[in-house]
Structure 1
Amino acid sequence: MLTSNLVVGAGLHLNTGDIVFQLVIFLILLALLRKYALGPVMNMMKQREEHIASEISASEAKHAEAKKLAEEQRELLKQARLESQGLVESAKKLGEKQKEEIIQVARSEAERLKQSAFKEIAQEKEQAVAALREQVASLSILIATKVIEKELNEKEQEKLIQDYIKEVGEGR
């Protein structure tokens, strides 16, 4: 090996042979590191980068799907609200219709009962009038027979009429 010594300045001494030897060893070490350490590390870093990129894209895809599902859920909720409002409205309309029908039936039933009561009152009135006529007729016959039986003067006839009126009054 070549050994050369250079003297630089005051007290500095350089050994170029050692420098060249160290430089060659450093280059060999660098080549070995590149081949055996740097290559696999770079491959690992590239794989890690690809893995992270795939995880990010999968995460973005899941995020997009979640947004889509959330939007679908909002739309379904909106439709459910509209349907429930429609059901409430139809139930209200049905309730109003049934209310009107019940009121109409009640009014017609009240009118029927009123007409029935008027008919019954008229029949009772007719029966009362007929009974009164029969009583008046029988009383008239009774008075006539008593008057015929007795020939009375005017005072006695007046007393007899008053007695019969009292009897009729008590009979009621």
Structure 2
Amino acid sequence: MGLITPGLGLIFWSALGFLIVLFLLTKYAWKPILAALDEREKSIDHALKSAEIARNEMSNLKAENEKIIQEAKIERDNMLHKASEAAKQMIDEAKEKAQLEGAKMIESAKAAINTEKLAALEEVKVQVGILSMEVAEKILRANLSTDAAQQKLMDDLLKDIKLN
């Protein structure tokens, strides 16, 4: 039974050794170990807080980027809308200008045609007059070559004249 139950001297020296080691550890090692643990805890807390701050900043940046992208899309849409309106306006102006030019050209052509028509009619009148004079001259020469024919013409003309 001696092996199972320790002796009083062994318990005393074991307790004394334990208390000395406990005293030495408390005096020299306990404070630095606790200080290191506190510092480690503080650094972990600081890292967690920094990570939280970084996460918040990232979410803020992401929201800001989304806002900037949305504004850029709106601005792009506005620019496209303005460009399409400007193009439509330019096309409408070009059509209107072309219609005005076409109308002017048509009016000018009508005026030129009318002028040419009047000139041609005048020329025809002159030619008809000349031809009529030549025909009348030939007829008169042929018919009035004798005195009897001249007298008959005068009588016919006098009959046609009605006196009041």
TM-score scaled by length of structure 2:
0.76
Q: Deviations over 1:102-151 (max 9, x none)?
A: 22222222211111111111111111111112222222233344445556
**Of 67, 75, 80, the match for 1:83:** 75
Give the share of equivalent positions with the same residue, in percent: 26
Q: 2:107 aligns with which of 109, 115, 133?
A: 115
Corresponding pairs, count: 144
Tell me the residue number matched to 2:61.
69
One of 101, 104, 124 as aligned partner of 2:93 = 101
Partners of 1:13 and 1:58 in 2: CA distance? 57
Which structure carries more relative contact order (alpha carbon 8 Å, separation 6+)? 1
Q: Corresponding residue for 1:54? A: 46
Unmatched tracts of structure 2, length 5 or more: 145-164
1:29 is aligned, of 21, 32, 36, to 21
Q: Distance in 2 between matches of 1:63 and 1:31?
A: 46
- 1:82 is aligned with what amino acid? I
Please report how far the alpha carbon of residue 10 of structure 1 lies from its aligned counterpart in structure 2 after TM superposition.
7.5
> What TM-score, normalized by structure 1, do the two folds share?
0.73
Equivalent in 118, 133, 137 of residue 126 of structure 1: 118
Compare the two structures and name the one with the higher strand fraction: 1
Q: Per-residue deviation at 1:11?
A: 7.0
Match of 1:18 among 10, 27, 30: 10
CA RMSD of aligned residues (A): 2.2
Matched, 1:143 2:112: no
Give ranges in structure 1 of 5+ residues lacking alignment.
1-8, 153-172
